Each structure stands twice: as C-alpha cells, then as structure tokens.
Amino acid sequence: MAAQTRYVCNEHIVDMRYIGVQKMMIYEGDKFGAINRLLRTRRVLPAFLAANVLLLLWACCMPSAQAQLSVAVTEAKLENGYEVERVYGGEVRAGRTSTLGFRHAGEVHRIRVQEGDTVAAGALLAELDPEPLRAAREQAVAGLRHAQAQLQVAEAAVELARETTRRHRDLLEKGHTSAQRFDEVRLDLAAREAQVNVAQAERARAEAGLRVADVDLERSRLLAPYPARIQIRHADEGAMLVPGQAVLRIVEEGRREARIGLPVDVAGTLETGARYAFRNGEQRLEGTLLQLLPEVDPRTRTLTALFDLPATESAPPAGSLIELTLTRRITDAGFWLPLAALSEAQRGLWSVFVVVADGNEDRVERRLVEVLHNAENRVFVRGTLADGDAVVATGTQRIVPGQLVVAGAGR
C-alpha cells in the first residue's frame, strides 16, 4: 500500500500519498532498470522531493489575513454600593430548663417517667413515700382538736368568772361583801380572759401545723411546672433523698431561644421585635429579637442577643449550633463582574480586558482593578473602568493587550 503522510496547517492538508505512488511505480516496473536509474539519481531525487514538500508547506501555512478571536463580553454597570453577608454563630437553648427535687427528705416511692418522655404541665412525675407524712398530718389534726378543746374550757371559765364578778358587784353595792373579795373576783376574770387568748393562739398554731402537714403531703408528689421533656433522671425508687436533691431535669417543650454573640457596633444596628434569618445546617428559619443583654462578655468582647425561634416540630434541639445571617450595605462605587473576567496583575492588583473600537475593528485593552468583595462566581471591583465598558467575561488567558477580537454575546 502507498504510504499515507499528511501535514496540517490551518485548513490545508498536504497529502503525500502521490510520493509513495511514484516510488511504487519505480519498483513495480522494470526492476533492474529502475534500480539503476534510481541509483544514478539517488542524490538528486531526495533533494527535489524535500524542496517540493517545504515549498508546499510554506505556501499553505501563510495566513491570508490576521485571525480575529471571538470573545464573550459583559457590560460594566456602575453601582453605588454592594451588600455584604455576615454570619455569626451561637447556641440554641430551651426557653426554660429546670432541675426538680423534693423540699424535704424521704424515700422515693415511685418515679412515673423515663428520660425522653414528653409531659404536660401539672403531670405527676414522682412521689415520695407518703406514710410518714400522713402520720404527721394525723398528729397535726390531733393537736388541733386538743387546742380547740382547751379553748372551749377557757371560754367556759371566762363565762363563769364574768357571772361571779357581776354578782359580787351587786353584793358590794349592797354592802354584803368586801372590796377585797370583789377585787379577787375581778382579777380572776381578767386571768380567765387571758387564758382564752392563750388557747386561741394554741389553736391557731395547731391549724398552721395542719396546713404545713397538708403542704408536705402535697409536695411529696413532684409535678411538671410546664410542658416539657425529661432530659435526665437522677434517682430511682427506694433512694433516700435529702431536701433539694435533684431527681429530674426537664427541658421546656417547643419554645427555643438563640443566643448570639455580636460585635457591639453590629448589635447596635438590630431592632427589638424585628425578624432575622437563621441557618441550622440545611434548615432555614426566622427568629425575632427579644433583647440585648446589658453587659459585654469579658471573654469574647461581644454583646449577647436573645432571639425567639418558632415553636415548631422542626425547631432545632437545645444545645445545637445556629448561625445568624445579617446583610449590610456598603456604600462604595464599583462594578459587578464575573470572576472569570479577572486576570492577575502586578503588585497584588488584578486586571480585566476591555474591548474598544479601533476604526472598523475591535481591540482589547488591559485595565487595572481592585477587588472589594467577592460573592460566589462574581466580584465587585473598582478601578480604571467606565460605565458601559465591554469587559471580556471569560477566556482571558487566550488574549493579550492590543489583540484584535470579535465581541460576542455577553453573559
């Protein structure tokens, strides 16, 4: 087969198959005569063939006109500023958390909940052994009855002393008794009345003792103060407790708060009652600013802001991290450009290419810019640009200043 060799230059293809055909004709003819002729011209033929190949390659590679590269451009529009998004981290906390225990000592009789259970406000959570408290109440009842009886005795004695005093007053007026005897009867009445006051005080004390016994018996039952979930169970049945010892830790169900540490100048821009955007992983939610705490945290030098989060089933759990997203307007004139439009320049600056008219053709010029802000795949810059300039949007690595181009559609 004929050898196939091709040279490519722009759109021209040089096919060297005819050279192989000529060689094949030499070998397929008169072998000996052809060989002799080839030997006689072995120095001329290669040089001739090489010269023809070089001439053909040079002719096809000569450009007829300077090629013009097509570039995508975008219009530079002057803006009076840009928005900066700042993210501040914080912690989610329950609206209320409580560690519950009994006010007095006793033995745990029953705990009715497990960790993770959801309870309603007023639900019975745990009980102490009620027998000692019932006995104390019965004792208080007996003491009250005794005090009431003592009061009745004292009141009867006062009634008798009053009648005796009245009779002796009549006898004294008639001269049938002495003043001494009348004074004794009168003072005895005063003593009896004082005894009634003492008996009344004893009765009041007995009534108070009964109320204390009732309260102690009631407080032997641990109730949920608000709708909550059981976080920790500290004790089990049969455990002996001292007053105030922790039995259960509960976390308020539903309501959540976010505590965010903010720089003082940023915190001053927030408005109480306004709603702000939060992010918890992939979850997006809004919260309402409740208040700013009055003191700066001495460790972080930030001001703590409290936000009320929506009470939904998808509310983030207490203790999880949450991010507050704030948008701040920066007043500084510049241009939004695609990130791909930038190319590196000297002294830490960046540059872009601008397409400008040069007679009937378009050329590119380099313009220096400073990056003020970046957001995803675009940047906000300022520099030697003018409003309406056609900036090369992409492919800047393919062009050089002064190159002729054809401006394509912007993007």
Same-domain pairing of 160 and 181? yes
Q: Give the CA distances from residue 40 to residues 23, 34, 43, 315, in Å, rounded to whole numbers and listed in that order.
A: 15, 10, 8, 98
pLDDT value for 18: 37
Q: What is the mean pLDDT of residues 174-182?
A: 83
**Domain check: are 139 and 212 in the same one?**
yes
Q: Please check whether residue 373 lies inside any domain of the structure.
A: yes
Q: Are residues 77 and 47 in the same domain?
A: no
| Average of per-residue pLDDT values in the chain | 83
Is 301 domain-assigned? yes
Q: 165 is in which domain, residue-wise? A: 130-219
pLDDT digits (tens, 9 = 90+) for 130-176: 999 899 999 999 999 999 999 999 999 889 888 888 888 888 888 88
Report the C-alpha gap between 291 and 273 in whole angstroms: 8
Sign of CA dihedral 324, 329, 333, 337: positive
Instruction: Using DSSP, state whether 4 is helix, strand or coil.
Output: coil
Mean pLDDT of 238-244: 93
Same domain, 324 and 340: no
pLDDT digits (tens, 9 = 90+) for 30-71: 443 443 443 344 444 455 455 554 544 444 444 434 457 888
Question: For the domain that residue 367 is a member of, what is the CATH number?
Answer: 2.40.420.20
Which amino acid, 376? E
What kind and span of H or E run contains 373? Answer: strand 361-375
Residues in contact with 224: Cβ distance below 8 Å, sequence separation at least 6, in sequence order: 119, 120, 121, 122, 123, 125, 250
Q: Which residue has the higher pLDDT, 89 or 359?
A: 89
Q: What is the pLDDT of residue 51?
A: 53
CATH code, domain carrying 263: 2.40.30
225 falls within a domain: no
pLDDT for position 59: 44
**Residue predicted with more confidence, 366 or 348:** 366
Question: Counting beta carbons within 10 angstroms of the beta carbon of residue 39, is it exposed (0 to 12), middle (13 to 18) or buried (19 or more)?
Answer: exposed
Q: Is the pLDDT of residue 306 over 60?
A: yes
Number of domains making up the chain:
4
Proportion of the chain in helix, strand, coil states, percent, rounded to 5: 35, 40, 30
pLDDT exceeds 90 at position 26: no
- The mean pLDDT value for 84-95 works out to 91
Q: Give percent of the chain above pLDDT 70.
A: 83
